[in-house]
Chains A and B, each alone.
Chain A
Amino acid sequence: MCLLACGGGDDASAPAGPPIRFLHTFGAEETELFNAIVVERRLTVESSLVPFARGQQVISAILAGGTDCPDLMRIDATWLPGLRTAGYLAPVPADLAARDWTPEAKGLVASAWRSNDQLFAVPQTVDGLVVVRDSSRPAPASPAITDVVAAARATKTPSSPYPLGVRVDGYWFVPWLRAEGGELRPTGIGDVGAVVALEKFAALYGDVASPPPPSGTEAPDELRRWNAHELAYWITGPWQLGALRDRDRLAITPLAHAPRGGQVLVVPTCARAPAEGWRLAAELTDTPALARFAAAFATVPTRESALASSPPLVRALYEALKSAEPLPRAVNTPLLFDDLNPALAAAVARDATPTEAIDGVRHGWHRLTRGEGHP
């Protein structure tokens, strides 16, 4: 019976050798391109998708087990501090570290870039929030939130009452929080400033931003509204632009206090074949591969050489992200969203006042600080 007896591969022409085990956060379309690159480079890779929402916990559990380790992982940059602190990451080979990384890419892995003269992550792409608009629309007066919202409000019409695209998510809340002096720190969200920020953020919905769609449908809803020209100004990141049909009509401007992040490649210390893991990392971050990802999905490459050959849209994204600021590099930073996101949803839905919601966030973050609950 095939279920019990079939071999692992169905492609007789596949290159021989033990497969490189790769855990990644690629989307479906990105995975297709990744698979194509793997075939072209004659690599044998056994890849698995890690869901972004629970990626850090999944990876931590795998690495803690130490028996089922991948050879390479593509992870979110915010997961780096936790994994690095736990000692799960292997140092980067010198030849990889010496590549022509962009300053933003170096900053992406800054917390893990050097530790006793060792490097622990290779940047693969830079992302963050920017303001995307139809090129026929005027640019906001400045990157400030108030000017972006004002620009959007100026385009309101009876047929397009919600021209601003902004997601009910802690990542999108960061610019509002920072604008009021807060930050995404368990101890530093601030009381008054965070509440004011949430009041302003929640006030967007039903005014210039549409009431949020059901959970889990945010991305396709935004794409639908953009393609239907219902959105005039769209606060989003490069990950959304790859799926757009008409990239030519896009214009990019920076957003003040926007968060900047990215995806990095790391090799765990428990990898069975770390050299093969770094080999795959080198293939995925060579100039042609980065340029292909940039051309296909508008992802911002992490090397100067790849950036130079990228489409104008990608270079515009890169320029807009220069002024964005990375999230605090703390072990618990990714976990903060678990409590922040429900609080934002409650406030936007008017189930809770901003004060009540921020109080709930404060309780949850305090629990994290105390180390209570399950890790």
Chain B
Amino acid sequence: MRAAASLRWRVLLLLALTAVVPTVIVGVLAISRARADVESEVERGALAHIRALGAALDGTLQDARRTVELAAATWADQPDGEREAQLLLKRLRRNVPIVSALSILDADGTLKYGDAVPDGVDAGSHSFGGYIGDVRRTNGRTIVNLVVQARGRTGELMGVFLATLDLGFVRDVVAAARLGRGARVVVVDGTGVPVATSDGRPLTETSLAGKDPAVDRALASSIEGTLATGGWVSAYRNLSSYQSSRGVRWAILHQQPEADAYALARRTTRDTLLVGGIALALALALGALVATLLTRPLEALARRADAIAAGGADDGPPIRGPGEIGVLGQRIDEMAKRVAERTELQQALARGDRLASVGVMSAQVAHEINNPLTTVLGYAKLLQEDKPEGHPDRAGLELIASEAERMKSIVGSLLEYARAPRQSEQQMKPVELASPETCQPAAVVRHVATLLGPQLKKGRTTLVTDMASDAAVTIDAHALQQVLVNLVQNALQAMSDGGTITIASSPAPGAVATTITVADTGPGIPAQHRTKVFDPFFTTKDAGVGTGLGLAVSKHLVATAGGSIEVGDGPNGTGAEFRLVIPNAGTV
């Protein structure tokens, strides 16, 4: 059983290794991949969002910047006309609504037209191309300075246009952003100071550089990217048009708590794990069922093999199984039968040898005992005859005589058992109805009926014969007679109140043998005794009634003739029936 159990576990392990483990590995990889993809999509979505917002911010500033640059280039070609300059400033203020203050400085940095120059503005001539300054807050407004050089047709610096831009539009664009749960958008200038936030919290002059890794990353050299840290997922992007006086571009960031940002990914992962776990459990259960179905016939085979190895009989139901396992079961069954037959044959041979030895020895012992017994019996009878009726010694002498008779009977049986194997040496020929090796069963039965007539009559038993086969059989007539006498006498002893004994013969299937049955109407033979009734010295009769050698001798005689003898229930389920199958003459 341990081997069978081990086989089942091995099958399960094999299923796990070949199906479950790869499934789990592939599943984990797929889940990881799917989760990474979803998270990547979240980050891409955030990036796309701030790209769109950044493009709007860049577009607004670029429009203002290019308009101012065009105006500066136009002015630089004719820098001396005050009326034209004032008209230009007026048009700029009208066409660039985010301009809150506008000034024109000459090449030396002196104010020529427009509003006063704020303190701390670097409007140096060396800032070719211009720049955006750092964000400042004035009177609740967020502003920034735009410096644009005015170079003439020859490239010569004629002056500088200085525009103060109101960044309220940045606040409006960011505030209008449609964001996910917990998300916010922040715009910081080149120093990390917040310019606008989507949640409308009050802005301070405190830089977020060094405090928020995403801001640090955004203000470094990267154009855009994502960062997940501190429980937040940030997407950041530089604003290409916004470049501080230090040359660092502003940045726009989309930030969202990781739990909110990756909620879909986590939910998908959880659901996938749940469904996958259930599917896996079902697969394992199915695998266990399949393993059981597959290994059950193998377990039966193992049990059968164990039984065979242990010398057991080929009992048990046929082994059934699908495909090759079924074929293997059939072969094992056949093999078991063959082994059982061979074992039985070997046992029979061994028993035969043993019985033959016992027979030789018994013959010698019986021969040596027979003469003293005859003397004892003779003298016991003489002494008995000498004693008058009622003499006190007469009962003892009768007991001595009867026991001596019984001993002679036993000795006689032993001598018959010893003589049985040596058919060629048989010398008793009560009937000469056939050749020495064959006989006509019907004739033998008639002789037996005649022989046992008195006993049958005394036992109030009727002997019925039904000899439907007239084929000669390959058994010595004397041997068959002895077998039938034993069987009929056993039946007589079993039916103390009388009954019917039926001797019948019929062709065996294939017509190569003849079946002879001896059935009675007695109590029958219990099933537990049926395998033992042919063993020598086995008897269920009372002490002193049987020797236990009759059926053993009968089976030995039939087996020696190449036949078989079995015992079973009577024809109507009552009584006992002995069934002999003896090969027909000429078929052996």
Q: Which residues of A contact B (CB under 8 A)?
A: 2-10, 26, 28, 31, 46-51, 53-55, 57-58, 61-62, 215, 335, 337-339, 341-347, 351-352, 356-357, 359-361, 363-364, 367, 372-375
Contact = CB atoms under 8 A, between A and B. Distances in A.
Nearest to A373: B125
B514 to A, nearest CB: 99
B172 interface: no
Contacts of A345: 155
Given A54-B247, A351-B154, A2 B125 contact: no
A244 B232 CA distance: 38
Contacts of A51: 243, 247-248
**A-B pairs with lowest CB-CB distance, top 10:** A360-B156, A342-B155, A51-B247, A374-B124, A10-B229, A352-B154, A343-B155, A346-B155, A2-B232, A360-B154
A374 B153 contact: no
Interface string B219-231: 1111100010111
B463 interface: no
B247 A352 contact: no
A373 B107 CA distance: 7
A160 B457 CA distance: 140
Interface in B112-129: 122-129
B211 interface: yes
B154 A346 contact: yes
A49 B247 contact: yes
A51 to B, nearest CB: 3
Given A50-B247, A346-B153, A352-B153, A373 B124 contact: yes
A3 to B, nearest CB: 5
Nearest to B199: A1
A237 to B, nearest CB: 20
Given A28-B221, A48-B248, A364-B157, A8 B216 contact: yes
B231 A2 contact: yes
Contacts, number: 145
Nearest to B214: A2
- The listed residue with most B CB atoms (<10 A of its CB), out of A4, A62, A215, is A4
Contacts of A367: 107-108, 125
Interface string B253-270: 001000000000000000
Interface string B134-162: 00000000000000000111111100000
B220 to A, nearest CB: 7
B273 interface: no
- Chain A interface main SS type: helix
B156 A363 contact: yes
A195 B216 CA distance: 48
A48 B348 CA distance: 105
A31 B154 CA distance: 37
Interface in B375-407: none
Interface of B: 107-109, 122-129, 131, 151-157, 186, 194, 208, 210-216, 219-223, 227, 229-232, 234, 243, 245-248, 255
A3 B131 CA distance: 27
29 contacts: A2-B232, A6-B212, A7-B213, A8-B210, A10-B227, A28-B223, A31-B220, A46-B210, A49-B247, A49-B248, A50-B247, A53-B128, A57-B127, A58-B245, A335-B126, A339-B157, A341-B128, A342-B155, A343-B155, A346-B153, A352-B153, A357-B154, A360-B155, A361-B156, A363-B156, A367-B125, A373-B124, A373-B125, A374-B125
Contacts of B152: 360
Given A49-B220, A373-B125, A344 B214 contact: no
Given A7-B213, A8-B213, A57-B124, 15 more contacts: A2-B214, A2-B255, A51-B247, A53-B128, A53-B129, A55-B247, A61-B246, A338-B127, A339-B156, A342-B156, A351-B155, A356-B154, A364-B156, A374-B122, A375-B124
A49 B249 CA distance: 10
A57 B584 CA distance: 131
A367 B129 CA distance: 19
A360 B150 CA distance: 13
B108 A373 contact: yes
B213 A9 contact: yes
A347 B210 CA distance: 46
B109 A373 contact: yes
A51 B131 CA distance: 12
Given A53-B129, A360-B152, A374-B125, A7 B230 contact: yes
A374 B105 CA distance: 11
B249 to A, nearest CB: 9
A4 B211 CA distance: 7
Contact of A6 (B194, B219, B229, B243): B229
Contact of B212 (A3, A215, A357, A374): A3
B50 to A, nearest CB: 15
Contact of B208 (A3, A352, A364): A3
Contacts of B155: 339, 341-347, 351-352, 357, 360-361
A167 B155 CA distance: 17
A342 B234 CA distance: 41
B129 to A, nearest CB: 7
A342 B108 contact: no
B125 A364 contact: yes
A10 B230 contact: yes
Given A339-B156, A367-B125, A6 B232 contact: yes
B186 A3 contact: yes
Nearest to B216: A8
Contacts of A49: 220-221, 247-248
A374 B126 CA distance: 8
Contacts of A359: 154, 156
Nearest to A10: B229
Contacts of A50: 246-247
Contacts of B108: 367, 372-373
A349 to B, nearest CB: 9
Nearest to A355: B154
- The listed residue with most B CB atoms (<10 A of its CB), out of A50, A342, A345, A361, is A342
A53 B212 CA distance: 28
Contacts of B107: 364, 367, 373
Nearest to B194: A3
A335 to B, nearest CB: 5
Contacts of B211: 3-8
Nearest to B209: A8
Nearest to A4: B211
A16 to B, nearest CB: 16
A48 B255 CA distance: 23
A104 B223 CA distance: 35
B234 A2 contact: yes
Nearest to A360: B156
B557 to A, nearest CB: 98
B381 to A, nearest CB: 121
Nearest to B153: A351
Nearest to B231: A2
Contacts of B245: 54, 58, 61
A361 B128 CA distance: 14
A54 B229 contact: no
A375 B109 CA distance: 10
A173 to B, nearest CB: 12
B247 A58 contact: yes
A118 B222 CA distance: 37
Contact of B109 (A8, A31, A363, A374): A374
Contacts of B129: 53, 215
Nearest to B228: A10
B285 to A, nearest CB: 43
A248 to B, nearest CB: 29
Contacts of A364: 107, 125, 156-157
A7 B208 CA distance: 10
- The listed residue with most B CB atoms (<10 A of its CB), out of A10, A61, A337, A346, is A10
A353 to B, nearest CB: 8
Contacts of A31: 220-221
A346 B155 CA distance: 6
Nearest to B208: A3
Contacts of B223: 28
